[in-house]
Amino acid sequence: MADGDPAARSAPRGRRDLTQGPITRTLIAFALPTLGSSVLQSLNGSINTVWVGRFLGEGALAATSNANMTMFLLMSFVFGFGMASTILIGQAFGRREVDQARRVIGTAIGAFSLVAIAVAVLGWIFAPQLLSLLATPEAARPLALAYLRVIFLSMPGGLMLVLLMMALRGGGDSLTPLWFMILSVLLDSGLNPFFIAGIGPFPKLGIAGSATATVIANTAALVGLVIYIYARDLPLRLRGAELRYLRPDPELLKIILKKGLPMGLQMIVISASGLALLGLVNHEGVDTTAAFGVAMQLWTYLQMPAMAVGAAVSAMAAQNIGAGRWERVGRITRSGVFTTLALTGVLVILLAAADRTALSLFLGPNSPAMPIARHIQWMATWSFLLFGVTLVLFGTVRANGAVVGPLVILCIGLIPVRLGFIFLARPYLGADALWLSFPVSSLSNLVLAAAYYLKGNWRKIRLQVPPATDECVELSETAGEADGRMSPTG
């Protein structure tokens, strides 16, 4: 395949016909690559959490939980617009308009690199105030500040790296981003213990060493990817007069902002709810915050099958709606529900049976946070079964372009329902109100999503073309619970 041939690049996506064949088999085959990519991305955060927990203890775990959740929120402000850029690039390649794809990536890099740099500078300056807003435990605050300030330095490089990877996938190249994602993961997780403990010639930086490894990994992967793009003369490179595309085009930027707003708002709602919850958890002390951070790491993997299946359902439903095959849409939804219940159910059972083993990867067997983490798991983990069904229903309705309904439902479930339950029940249940808020909000979301799917007007939307496959996948991958990862996507 010629590197510069857009027709060749877009052909594999064009041949992915999801309107034919057995539904469940096609659904699973489509979901598996998305699942694999999400696992690889999140594995990096989990490995780093293991290093921090093992070398530095519960206070450091609490610190990284606070810092990473803060980064999750700040990245969410711009990440939705990056995903919108990816969708536009994919559509441009589908029309064989390589120059238009270059205009989009130029506008995205030109606009959001400036935003990322500004956020990094302001984040460094106001990091103490951010931690105060979260009511970060006093014992963890110095560690959290040291970690957060260095992590802010990784934001411009990290955002540009992810933006380029997403753009390449939008152009039909999923292999190149995978290789450089592997490079970033290996560098980050491999360098963590050396910078934390000062092994060999490396300085002993403690918790700041974990963040330093992330900065180095992001920078190295970004530089390597840019060199590779130009060395292979891939279609998205900008040369000569094309470098003027880095000056944001007002019309393109307007489209990116418009398409990215639903995705950005959804991620902001999720991360804001997570930050509010973390602020309440922080009042319970360092051990509880550390236990919650570890539980969230495990929940990262627990929700991945549902997110992958939801993305597959959305993509399949979009193609079938576009082909006028509405009789298959309901079957796709039912298959998605049963598949996500089966996959998530197996993980819930395995985690319940081996919770101590799983948690001991992050916490020592005698850690005071261990019994708290086990209690959190037993109280809340099963709610991801409800969460999974909701994602499948959201995936179907989004396939016809209905994005406002799911956004409103998420807002209701994650803010007034979840936080309202906590404030009403906490005087009677204590900290258990925090953990029970997960099944309560998940049940609320499921009931509202089911009502919207069965009785809402999403089927009547006919004025817009159903979204492309890439758009369906990107929207579905923004719906997970906020967790300890720095990146807001799986």
Whether residue 174 has pLDDT greater than 70: no
Give me the pLDDT at residue 6, please.
38
Q: Considering only 37-46, 411-420, 471-480, which range has the smallest mean pLDDT?
A: 471-480
Q: Residues 179-227: pLDDT tens digits?
A: 888 888 889 888 988 998 888 888 898 888 888 998 899 899 999 999 9
Query: CA 294 → CA 54, 60, 75, 144, 282, distances in Å?
Result: 12, 12, 21, 16, 14
pTM of the full structure: 0.70
Q: How far apart are CA 426 and CA 222, in angstroms?
A: 46
Q: Residues 110-144: pLDDT tens digits?
A: 888 888 888 889 888 988 887 887 777 777 788 88
Query: CA 4 → CA 10, 99, 236, distances in Å?
Result: 11, 12, 9
Q: How far apart are CA 157 and CA 164, in angstroms?
A: 11
Q: Residues 59-92: pLDDT tens digits?
A: 777 777 767 766 766 666 666 777 677 767 766 7
Task: Residue 53: count other Cβ atoms within 10 Å of its Cβ.
Answer: 25
Long-range contacts of 121-126 (CB under 8 A, 24+ apart): 123/74, 123/148, 123/149, 123/152, 123/155, 124/149, 124/152, 124/153
Q: For residue 437, what are the contacts with CB-CB under 8 A and spacing of at least 6?
A: 277, 418, 419, 421, 422
